[in-house]
Copies of this chain bind each other. A is one copy, B any other.
Amino acid sequence: MPTYQAPLRDTRFLLNEFLEIGKYRNLPGFENTTPDLIDAILEEGGRIAEEVLFPLNQSGDEEGCHFDNGEVSTPKGFKEAYKTFTEGGWAGLVADPDYGGQGLPRVIGSAFVEMICSANLSFGTYPGLASAAYAAIKKHGSDDQKNTYLPKLANGEWGGTMNLTEPHCGTDLGLMRTKAEPQDDGSFRITGTKIFITAGEHDLTDNIIHLVLARIPGGPEGVRGISLFIVPKFLVNGDGTPGIRNGVVCGSIEKKMGIKASSTCVMNYDDAVGYLLGEEHRGMRAMFTMMNEARLGVGIQGLGLSEVAYQNAAAYAKERLQGRGLKGVAAPDKPADPIIVHPDVRKMLLTMRSFNEGARALALWMALQTDLAERHPEESVRRDADELVSLMMPIVKAYLTDMGFESVNWGVQCFGGHGYIREHGMEQFVRDTRITQLYEGTSGIQALDLVGRKLPAHMGRSLRQFFHPVDAFIRENMSDPAMKDFVLPLAKSFARLQQATAWIAEQGLKDPEQAGAASADYLKMFGHVALAYMWARMARISNEKLADGAGDRDFFEAKLMVGRFFMTKTLPDTSALLSKITAGAAPLMAMDADAF
């Protein structure tokens, strides 16, 4: 049976020492974020993840969701766990206190989200989608809509969904067919079929607030004619309670590779009452404002699954006795040595761990930037943060999930044949992680967003939001001998990233297929460099702590060792990526489609 312990020590380090969130006490929501309060939240959140959610992860996968005539029931124990979760106020951790939330910064909320994803990704999708609906209504709703829906979404009494995909359109929403007919009373009647609707139907909440993209007849063609609607499963009575059933029903649930305890629904809207959210024909724009948050969340899913896979692989490697060390017997009192004596086993574990700790730093850094973009008093700080987040989100989403998937597979590999057996739980992590590379925009779509939209944004100023601090860091630390193992490889890979960026800018201008051909390799290279930057910054702090003679030397020494692994054993991939990028589009485009 797998185990899980919330990574409290590392998270504390990142929040307090790496991001120094104590510096932001002047920001709303940050007022009380003392190290003590952070500790209390992380510990209690960790306990919920470890003791309430994680024990249901395997059983939820085995049992899956049940569909019966439009009704969906979640696996055994999910209702009780959801009750514990919502009663503890965890559903509204970052929600506005005006609507009953805890009002905490997203950077703290994100640390908790990682724990949920490690413990039980399927479970996490239910409050996760409710949060997304909360955020959309918060941002685009009328006061009346906010008052009606936000308190119930924030306290977890009601669930929420996002309805975009239709059978014939996933990535290309311009093909959408779902219709919204205007009614005399200002409401709309929604008709159409949506697929892949996470948490579309379930038994955890009294009501489900569907946010649905649909076309108002007579509007423009393509994505410019799409509007966003609130479609509650039960129409809301004047007193705020759920009333009569609306014309929306779950037609079936998908049989999937993983996240089997998360219901993935076909939703049939048949003359369902809907209320316009935001402006007519501006539904896509409203959706897009939510996308940074959603992509950060999915990136963190990749991290969370990689973390729990690492913990179990490391425990197994220390415990499993097979053969002897290459230099001779390491454990003479035992019939064989634990497999962690082998360099290749350590390589697999360190590949996972150096990704996890680097990815956690990147995700929380970006989460803090979303807080700053929203809450900082200075406009220029808000703008810079927003641009940095926009630039980095496709990378966070695709890189953390692609690398997360590789990582959980290393975890299986550490177990040998036992990794393939369900009871050990490792193969479930692989199946669950696999969805993260697909939903909320595939990795390929993220890469196109990066090269097509984000690189040229604001005449390259968005890009400079990342390049300038990296450049400054390299200059500042170049002459520090203690930083040599970190700054030299960072500088080398950063130079490659600059070279690749220039190549794409130049070639892509002449031929957009050159940018498209380079996009996936470029995103991966960017992700590697971003993690190298995280590692170099973490190394500097660790060096300082060790030089200061501060406590917890083991923690900081391990940081340096794990970081050195990343620099020498993962980062060199940037050299191959540069070759592939500059090889151009011709090898991809030469062949006729028929010849495939």
Bound together, the chains give a CA A255 to CA B423 distance in angstroms of 8
Contacts A517-B347, A590-B561 given; does A572 touch B579 at CB 8 Å: yes
A439 lies within 8 A of B421 (CB) = no
Q: A332-346: contact bitstring with B at CB < 8 Å (1 yes, 0 no)?
A: 000110101111111
The answer, yes or no, to whether A293 is at the interface (CB within 8 Å) is no
| 6 CB < 8 A contacts A-B | A175-B322, A344-B520, A405-B409, A416-B442, A565-B587, A572-B576
> At the interface, yes or no: A120 with Cβ under 8 Å from chain B?
no
A241 contacts the other chain (Cβ, under 8 Å)? no
- Complex contact B340–A593 (CB within 8 A): yes
Q: Is the CB of B326 within 8 A of A516?
A: yes
Q: Are B580 and A346 in contact (CB under 8 A)?
A: no
Q: Are A344 and B170 closer than 8 Å at their CB atoms?
A: no
Stretch from A146-154, A242-250, A443-451, A535-543 contacting the other chain:
A443-451
Known contacts A347-B517, A516-B326, A596-B314; is A413 also within 8 Å of B587 by CB? no
Q: Would you give the shortest CB distance from A580 to chain B, in whole angstroms?
A: 5
A172: chain B residues at CB < 8 Å are: 321-323, 336
Per-residue interface assignment for chain A, residues 407 to 421, with 1 indicating a CB less than 8 Å from any chain B CB and 0 otherwise? 001001100111111
Closest to A330 in B: B593
Measured between beta carbons, the chain B residues less than 8 angstroms from A519 are: 343-344
Q: Mark A108-143, 1 if CB is under 8 A from B, else 0.
A: 000000000000000000000000000000000000
Main secondary structure of the interface of A (DSSP, over half): helix
With A420-B256, A420-B257, A568-B587 known as contacts, the answer to whether A344 contacts B427 (CB < 8 A) is no
Selecting from A35-43, A211-219, A379-387, A429-437, the interface stretch reads: A429-437
Per-residue CB contact flags for chain A residues 552-596 toward chain B (1 = under 8 Å, else 0) read 001000100110110011001111100110010101111101111
**Which residues of chain B are within 8 angstroms of A486 by Cβ–Cβ distance?**
none
Closest to A426 in B: B257
A484 in contact (CB, < 8 A): no
Asked if A495 lies at the interface with its beta carbon under 8 angstroms from chain B, I say: no
Contact-size category for A: 35 or more
List the B side residues contacting A443 at CB < 8 Å: 413
Residue of B nearest to A169 (CB): B322
Q: How far is the CA of A198 from the CA of B326 in the complex (A)?
A: 31
User: Do A447 and B171 have beta carbons less than 8 Å apart?
Assistant: no
Q: Are B343 and A516 in contact (CB under 8 A)?
A: yes
- 8 Å CB interface, A244-270 against B: 254-258
Let me know if B171 and A416 touch, CB within 8 A: yes
**Would B438 and A416 count as touching, CB distance under 8 A?**
yes
Q: How far, in angstroms, from A562 to B594 measured CA to CA in the complex?
A: 14
Are A344 and B591 within 8 A (Cβ)? no
Q: Determine if A497 is an interface residue (Cβ-Cβ < 8 Å).
A: no
* Pair B558/A587 contact, Cβ less than 8 Å: no
Is A318 in contact with chain B by the CB < 8 A criterion? Answer: yes
- Residue pair A516, B322 in contact (C-beta under 8 Å): no
Is there an interface contact between A588 and B575, defined as CB atoms closer than 8 Å?
no
Q: Which chain B residue has the least Cβ–Cβ distance from A314?
A: B596
Task: Tell whether A513 is near chain B: CB-to-CB under 8 Å.
Answer: yes
